[in-house]
Chains A and B, each alone.
Chain A
């Protein structure tokens, strides 16, 4: 909890910064999610009901309340990617990772999710892994990308 405290302090223990605090906590969780104990701790520190904190974090799609893989593989399903072959990309990833959207690999490395537009329409179909965006995807390119994460070439 020391780290949670430190982040809360850095944001002045202010309710206004709840979303910013939770984003940082999720980033350092290693499970791309917010453990219940942390949520309770933050609620107490900010003098808020736990239910209020949950109402905020479950409203925003970026937060997870169940453990997820180290890397979130987000496949855009909005219009511009849809007309550029997003369905194929999803299918290929489902095969390569052996996952359906919402599921996590057994080694806890990848979670596959479908997302709304993240502004990579000029290189559609696009996916996002962590903060990195990949576009103009082909089957070969997708394999290379997934392998590079499996081999641990990326941090965070």
Chain B
């Protein structure tokens, strides 16, 4: 299979523009510069590329809409705030082939007429920020960024790295833009959408690292070819992040249409120590948890949606039967309690109360009333939270209750079948 994103991983010096060009880099930008703007966008539409950050919005349509906006200046922004637990794919692009991202953003800047761009990289990736900064410097020296790019009069594009400082919510696009402006990263009211009114209240084209990194290949080899690598509903390939109790954890570039079973048992080498697969947590902490009986689902936006799941960021956390569903859920909800920005009540209070109830569950003091409260709180958060964080935080709860309700009921009766929970009877007493 052709690799779109990981072909150069480990084969070139990440910040060497010479090696990137020798390995076929910047062909996409050169081709874009010989095309009409709308034709380039048409290629991206044909590619059937969906946003890889988790929201899965069609990129071609996003770019077409942004292109049509007359106001300016327009900004190019990259979301490299990879904070979704279990996700480490953007880290590989940023540290092993940052030029594919830089080229993708430069292509966008050419089409949109943007003069400035920002790559917002999470603070925890401080070491990787240095690699990306060095790549930007080298691109500038070689005339691929800065003024009159590739000798084209008036094609100017400056790219800057901005560091996050430890806030999961900044992965939300409007919160990210607030953070670039130096403020607390709390999400904004939508609409207006970021494409109309984003960074400094100007039209902003914001995509995930992996999304931008697909663009050079799409322009160079054609949208149809990209699309044909995947399924009818999901074009191209996807970087999947496999973690948990499997033998070969890591990032795998797979064509859409591969099943989760193939990923876990073929590429991932199956379960560690011959244990039994209990559940998969797909798409990061805000994704769904489901048992082995469902892992023959194809990795494809449409098939997963039909099964009631979302691909999210492409994180696949495999959990074996030595673990307790309730204890695991408590860990996940503690994450959201910690990371809620506090702006809206359902998320700020809801996550806190869910952790409280789960504490009681793991200590054997929860009642049926607690269980019912937990379920109704989850629905309230899903429907009334201000942004995606609070809306999706209860997803693991809703799905674990759906598939492992028996285990929750056992905890209410003072039993943990995995023998993980303390059942010490302390919480809530």
Contact = CB atoms under 8 A, between A and B. Distances in A.
Interface of A: 14-20, 22-23, 55-56, 59-63, 77-80, 82-84, 115-124, 128, 131-132
Interface in B226-280: 241-245, 249-251
A154 B429 CA distance: 47
Residue from A22, A82, A124 having most chain B Cβ neighbours under 10 A: A82
B391 to A, nearest CB: 19
Q: Which 3 A-B pairs have the closest CB atoms?
A: A61-B166, A60-B165, A121-B243
B412 to A, nearest CB: 23
B268 to A, nearest CB: 11
Contact of A128 (B124, B281, B335): B124
A122 B243 contact: yes
A116 B250 CA distance: 19
A15 B179 CA distance: 11
A116 B82 CA distance: 12
28 contacts: A20-B163, A56-B183, A59-B167, A59-B186, A60-B184, A62-B124, A63-B165, A63-B166, A78-B331, A79-B85, A79-B86, A79-B281, A79-B285, A83-B244, A83-B317, A116-B168, A117-B83, A119-B124, A121-B88, A121-B241, A121-B249, A121-B317, A122-B250, A122-B251, A124-B244, A124-B249, A131-B127, A132-B127
A78 B286 CA distance: 12
Interface string B313-334: 0010101100100001001101
Nearest to B180: A16
Nearest to A61: B166
B338 A116 contact: yes
B123 A117 contact: no
Interface in B104-139: 123-127
Interface in B178-208: 179-186
B331 A62 contact: no
A9 B29 CA distance: 35
Contacts of B244: 80, 83-84, 121, 124
B87 interface: yes
Contacts of A118: 124-125
B165 A22 contact: yes
Contact of B328 (A83, A84, A116, A121): A83
B91 interface: yes
Contact of B182 (A17, A63, A78, A131): A17
A3 to B, nearest CB: 19
Given A20-B163, A122-B251, A56 B123 contact: no
Contacts of A84: 243-245
A135 to B, nearest CB: 10
A19 to B, nearest CB: 5
Contact of B319 (A14, A83, A116, A124): A83
B397 interface: no
Nearest to B127: A131
Given A23-B123, A83-B319, A119 B245 contact: no
A58 to B, nearest CB: 9
B162 interface: yes
Contacts of A80: 85-86, 243-244, 317
A30 B165 CA distance: 18
B331 A61 contact: no
Nearest to A119: B88
Residue from B165, B241, B245, B250 having most chain A Cβ neighbours under 10 A: B165
A103 to B, nearest CB: 18
Contacts of B251: 122
